Structure 1
Amino acid sequence: MAIPDHARANFDTLLRAAADGNLALMECLDASTREPRYVLCAVGRSDGEYLLTPFGHLADANPYDAYLPPDPDDPTGFIVSPAT
């Protein structure tokens, strides 16, 4: 499964920000649930002020439980564990 260009561009921006020491972890509220989220942001400057660009939030629980990895034997599929 191919990663879309916009996701790859965002990842490249995140890598540049990390290399330059321009990353921040900011506490925010989820717009839908109002739960606290810890958001990874790139930090820039605009007109003498800081500009924080959010890229995503850290997983609240075990991230291995939150995502299904791609299936190496099926380029269009994901590894799904059997229901317990």
Structure 2
Amino acid sequence: KFEEILPIYKAVSDETDTGTYADFMEAFKTFDREGQGFISSAEMRMVLVGLGERLTDEEVDTIIKLTGLEEDLDGNVKYEEFVKTILKGFLK
């Protein structure tokens, strides 16, 4: 299982040249028009696939699952804690 996670983590961690906390937050805030700290899960996927090393849909699914990211009843996700979790490397 670790062998599956490591390449994905490296693709989104700050140890590579794929983006910093500010880069990810800026990308997510573009979709957070009302500044409420959440975006739709579809927008989250667009950011993850489009930022840095262009993750595949399967890699995005794995990251979302391993970080415990959950949608609310409207299909929205809180992105700040997600970014912090990814960049710190604390995958669940």
TM-score, normalised via structure 2 length: 0.29
Work out which of the two has the higher radius of gyration on C-alpha atoms and give 1 or 2.
1
Structure with more strand by fraction: 1
TM-score by length of 1: 0.31
